[in-house]
Amino acid sequence: MFGRKWRKRIKRKTILLGLAGMIMLTGCSTVRETMAQLEMYGSNEKIAQSGDSYSYKLREGQADESGASLEFKQFTGVHTLWSADAEREATVTLDLDVGVKNGKFKVVHVRPDGEVIKLADASLGGEPVTIELPEGRSEIKIVGKKAYGHLEARFSDNETAHFQPVKIQ
């Protein structure tokens, strides 16, 4: 039917076309989570570390000293929203409304000694959370694994301590 020369050409073209198709399919993702980011959700040790590692497909909103309003899609990793340097023990109330449509998501308090305390997870509707701040630097972080949803948070009764937003890059 075809000569040997033509069979080699057809085989070569088929292989090249298959490789090109595979490259196109694997290169179409707009968000690339690293393995480390995917593993952070279940590791309090990694959550407590200083420095953030996160990715969003979409993030709208911001965090400021009074609270946060965020809408997010495909959030993965650890993102510090607020930090506070308490000169003495203090108590702060945070009103949280968390809604997650897909994936895993939680809000945590990282104490100065490195202990991680979960404040909320995938669904918490408008409930106040009391945070006991020991002396030293505390942080409020969000942690996600391919999470789609929203976060509304407002500080109230925070005369004893003041959280500063961590700049979003």
How many Cα neighbours within 13 Å face the side chain of 137?
9
Q: What does the pLDDT look like over 8-25, one tens digit per residue? A: 778 888 887 877 777 766
Residues 18, 67 share a domain: no
Question: pLDDT value at position 145?
Answer: 92
What Å distances lie between residue 124 and 62, 64, 65, 107, 145, CA to CA? 19, 21, 21, 10, 17
Question: pLDDT value at position 167?
Answer: 66
Q: What does the pLDDT look like over 50-100, one tens digit per residue? A: 888 898 999 999 988 888 999 999 999 999 999 988 888 888 888 999 999
Q: What does the pLDDT look like over 102-117, one tens digit per residue? A: 999 999 999 999 999 9
- Report whether 44 contacts 117 (CB < 8 A): no
Can you give the CATH number for the domain in which 124 is found?
Answer: 2.60.120
Its domain, for residue 113, covers 35-165
Helix H or strand E encompassing 96: strand 90-110
Question: pLDDT value at position 168?
Answer: 57
* Total count of domains within the chain: 2
Helix H or strand E encompassing 156: strand 136-156
Please state the pTM of the whole predicted model: 0.77
Residues 20, 75 share a domain: no
Residues 69, 131 share a domain: yes
Of the candidates 96, 115, 114, the one whose C-alpha atom is nearest the C-alpha of residue 106 is 96
Q: Is the model's pLDDT at 5 over the cut of 80?
A: no
